[in-house]
Amino acid sequence: MSLGLPLVATNGHVVPLTTRIPPYFLNTDHRQRCLAQLRSKHTGLEKYIYLNGLKERDPNLFYEVLLGNMLEIIPILYTPTVGDACSNYSHIWRRPEGLYVSIEHKGHIRQVLHTWPTGLASRIAVVTDGSRILGLGDLGANGLPISIGKLDLYIAGAGIKPTSAVPICLDLGTNTEKFLEDPLYIGVRRKRPATAEMDEFMKEFMEAMKETFPQLLVQFEDFSTDNAFRYLEMFKTQYRCFNDDIQGTGSVVLSGFLNSARLASSATGTPLSEQRILFFGAGSAGIGVAKQLTSFFTLQGMSEDEARKRIYTVDSKGLITADRKGLQEHKIYFARTDYDGPALTSLIDIIQYVKPTALLGLSTIRNAFTEDVVRLMASLNARPIIFPLSNPVSLCEVDYSDAIKWTNGTVIFASGSPYKAVKFEGKVYEPGQGNNMYIFPGIGLGTILSEARHVTDAMVEQASIALAGSLTDEEESSELVYPRLARIRDISANIALAVIRAAQTDNVDENVLFRNLTDEALLDYIKAKQWQPCSAHSYPHL
Ligand SMILES: NC(=O)C1=CN([C@@H]2O[C@H](COP(=O)(O)OP(=O)(O)OC[C@H]3O[C@@H](n4cnc5c(N)ncnc54)[C@H](O)[C@@H]3O)[C@@H](O)[C@H]2O)C=CC1
Ligand SMILES: CC(=O)C(=O)O
Ligand SMILES: [Mg+2]
């Protein structure tokens, strides 16, 4: 421990020569004190505010507490509680903790970015425009906590240094009236810009980001669906960036689906090539996952057409068919051409028609997977795969305990937000959490270390395959589809290794030094680079 003033050691105890610190404070366990303080708070939002204050007072201690208590703390910093933090951010705001770039800064964005204190040391920015925060809609400038929460997962889950992380909220206005009318609202009071104005802003922003932070990776987060696809297409080969909701979600769900299909197949013998996957919800997340699945199927030898035929998509108007007028661009690829009956609008009718082996919810519709829906899935499949992936919990398509009860324990389940284990007829069942948090830390770490010019499709796909293969024997025998969260650092290191190798194969790695390392040596290097918090450094000023 490095302390500025001499200390007296008595009976092995450390006593600072100062009156500002209680004499025996340094001999107590600060982490336990923090946990006790955290647990004394009654609501999720109070816990969020407490943790936020702890991070400001003592970042090392904050990350130590987080790393030692992931299962308890991640649901506060991230989904579901981060949803409450965003919804109420204008009211709970305490201190500056991220970078706001406003539409009013247009023409001066470079100057704004230069105000960020860690400048050239910055490596990863999570950028939201607040237009679709989780499933909660347009929260405008209140969206910053989602960028902060994702970056906390980068730091805890992948070992990215806190000083490398830049949380960004683009304040482009909001179309949500209640914020525009709220005197405490922290954002610019205007409606969102039209496409041409937003495009100009985004182009200036990305160019300025590259100039100001030349080694930085941009993760686009929670943009409304049209813009999510639009800016990914516009920027993905020009800048080092990816879209978490499209690519991160695609990658993480493919991984859980592969492990689920293996489990289901051991009961039914159904091969991957005969899976029929029904997507309830066809936005950035639904279509992102559908594309990742079809891409994987083609890797397995299916033709593109055969792969696409495995997928059925549903939106608020029902089963998406090619003959529907005015289909949005991103829905066209998966629109069915083999159904020409009357529009199928009820989920029960759609399931009866498709007979899916897997039902994936990315719809934001709470309890859309009713008892009838779940029981029908169970009657069609010995092991139905049901993933209600919408966030936060308040928008989840079905609760875990209901899914277990209505399928008599046969369901293979992963939800976007966390659920606790459930006891049913004497047996304990553990849910999976199908959330991009398992994937983006490793994609980011691998991209940063390899200094990849772009994030290629193969990097995202290999991340998914690495995650799918990361289950231990114990996790496999417990029928988990994702690894236990407590192992996320090791898992992120393995994902980063796969991402670096894919970057090399695609020739986008600007750091070519890793090319000559064996996998073992590279994995050791990655792990050695992971930042470790150390609260012993917290009192150098005593
Ligand atoms: N688990 C995870 O890792 C992730 C989960 N998500 C969640 O997925 C959800 C959707 O996100 P996006 O795709 O970006 O949003 P979005 O708003 O673009 O998509 C929602 C989709 O659901 C459909 N939908 C709405 N009402 C419906 C109804 N009554 N019946 C059938 N379909 C209906 C819409 O037509 C649209 O296609 C959000 O809750 C988000 O939090 C998103 C990314 C990652
Ligand atoms: C998990 C996530 O990225 C979302 O719900 O938007
Ligand atoms: Mg998201």
* Pocket flag, ligand 2, residue 134 (CB < 6 Å): yes
Confidence band, pLDDT 50/70/90 cuts, at residue 6: low
Residue 524 makes CB contacts below 8 A (sequence gap 6+) with none
* Angstrom distances, CA of residue 538 to CA of 18, 26, 129: 16, 11, 34
Write down the pLDDT at residue 537: 65
Residues of the chain with pLDDT > 90, as a percent, come to 91
Instruction: Work out the end-to-end distance of the chain between its first and last CA atoms, rounded to an integer number of angstroms.
Output: 11
Binding residue ranges: 132, 221-222, 245, 391, 435
Say how far apart CA 283 and CA 313 lie, in whole Å: 10
Q: Say how many CA atoms lie within 13 Å of 392 toward its Cβ.
A: 19
Question: Fold identical between 41-223 and 438-529?
Answer: yes
Nearest residue (by CA) to ligand 1, atom 6, is 390
> Whose CA is closest to 342, among 372, 378, 308, 317?
317
Best residue among 86, 138, 221 to mutate for probing ligand 2, ranked by most atoms within 8 Å of CB: 221
* Pocket flag, ligand 2, residue 82 (CB < 6 Å): no
Confidence band, pLDDT 50/70/90 cuts, at residue 2: very low
Better pLDDT: 412 or 25 = 412
Instruction: Provide mean pLDDT across the span 373-391.
Output: 98
Write down the pLDDT at residue 188: 98
CATH of the structural domain 438-529, one choice from 3.40.50.10380, 3.30.750.24, 3.30.1060.10, 1.20.210.10: 3.40.50.10380
Compute, in angstroms, the gap from residue 135 CA to the centroid of ligand 2.
8
Write down the pLDDT at residue 384: 98
Say how far apart CA 433 and CA 480 lie, in whole Å: 10
Binding residue ranges for (S)-malate: 132, 391, 435
Confidence band, pLDDT 50/70/90 cuts, at residue 22: confident
* Pocket flag, ligand 2, residue 436 (CB < 6 Å): yes
For helices 488-505 and 440-450, angle between their N-to-C axes, nearest 10 degrees: 50
Say how far apart CA 56 and CA 343 lie, in whole Å: 54
* Pocket flag, ligand 2, residue 414 (CB < 6 Å): no
Instruction: Provide mean pLDDT across the span 46-75.
Output: 97
Which residues surround ligand 1 with Cβ inside 6 Å? 132, 134-135, 225, 245, 249, 252, 280-286, 314-316, 362-365, 389-391, 395, 416, 434-436
Answer for the pair 260, 385: CB distance below 8 angstroms, yes or no.
yes
Confidence band, pLDDT 50/70/90 cuts, at residue 1: very low
Instruction: Provide mean pLDDT across the span 334-341.
Output: 96
Q: What element of type H or E holds 10?
A: strand 7-10
pLDDT over 60 at 519, yes or no: yes
* Pocket flag, ligand 2, residue 255 (CB < 6 Å): no
Say how far apart CA 111 and CA 525 lie, in whole Å: 36
Catalytic residues: 78, 150
* Pocket flag, ligand 2, residue 222 (CB < 6 Å): yes
Nearest residue (by CA) to ligand 2, atom 5, is 134
* Angstrom distances, CA of residue 412 to CA of 109, 244, 381, 425: 47, 24, 11, 17
Compute, in angstroms, the gap from residue 414 CA to the centroid of ligand 2.
14
* Pocket flag, ligand 2, residue 244 (CB < 6 Å): yes
Say how far apart CA 310 and CA 430 lie, in whole Å: 28
Q: Is 313 helix (H, G, I), strand (E, B) or coil?
A: strand
Residue 428: strand pairing partners:
423
Tokens 């919804």 sit on residue: 87
Which range has the worst mean pLDDT, 3-17, 149-163, 189-203, 345-359?
A: 3-17
**pLDDT tens-digit series, residues 476-512:** 999 999 999 999 999 999 999 999 999 999 999 999 9
Instruction: Provide mean pLDDT across the span 330-339.
Output: 97
**pLDDT tens-digit series, residues 122-144:** 999 999 999 999 999 999 999 99
Best residue among 132, 328, 362, 436 to mutate for probing ligand 1, ranked by most atoms within 8 Å of CB: 362
**pLDDT tens-digit series, residues 433-448:** 999 999 999 999 999 9
Answer for the pair 208, 108: CB distance below 8 angstroms, yes or no.
no
pLDDT over 80 at 17, yes or no: no
Write down the pLDDT at residue 535: 76
Q: What is the CATH number of domain 247-434?
A: 3.40.50.720
Instruction: Provide mean pLDDT across the span 221-241.
Output: 98
Compute, in angstroms, the gap from residue 186 CA to the centroid of ligand 3.
22
Compute, in angstroms, the gap from residue 380 CA to the centroid of ligand 2.
30
**ipTM score for this prediction:** 0.99
Compute, in angstroms, the gap from residue 468 CA to the centroid of ligand 2.
20
pTM score:
0.96
Domain boundaries, the chain: 1-28, 41-223, 247-434, 438-529
Largest CA distance in the chain: 85
Instruction: Provide mean pLDDT across the span 153-162.
Output: 98
Instruction: Provide mean pLDDT across the span 269-282.
Output: 94
pLDDT over 70 at 366, yes or no: yes
Residue 190 makes CB contacts below 8 A (sequence gap 6+) with 103, 173, 180
Compute, in angstroms, the gap from residue 246 CA to the centroid of ligand 3.
9
Write down the pLDDT at residue 14: 77
Answer for the pair 452, 508: CB distance below 8 angstroms, yes or no.
yes
Say how far apart CA 350 and CA 345 lie, in whole Å: 7
Mean pLDDT (the chain, rounded): 95
Rounded to the nearest 5°, which phi and psi values hold at 341?
-80, -170
Q: Give a three-class secondary structure readout of 405-449.
A: HHCCCCCEEEECCCCCCEEECCEEECCEECCHHHCHHHHHHHHHH
Nearest residue (by CA) to ligand 1, atom 34, is 315
Q: What is the CATH number of domain 41-223?
A: 3.40.50.10380
φ/ψ region of 350 (left if φ > 0, alpha if ψ in -120 to 50, else beta) reads alpha
Best residue among 127, 242, 249 to mutate for probing ligand 2, ranked by most atoms within 8 Å of CB: 249
> Whose CA is closest to 437, among 198, 190, 152?
152
Binding residue ranges for a divalent metal cation: 221-222, 245
Write down the pLDDT at residue 3: 46
Nearest residue (by CA) to ligand 2, atom 3, is 245
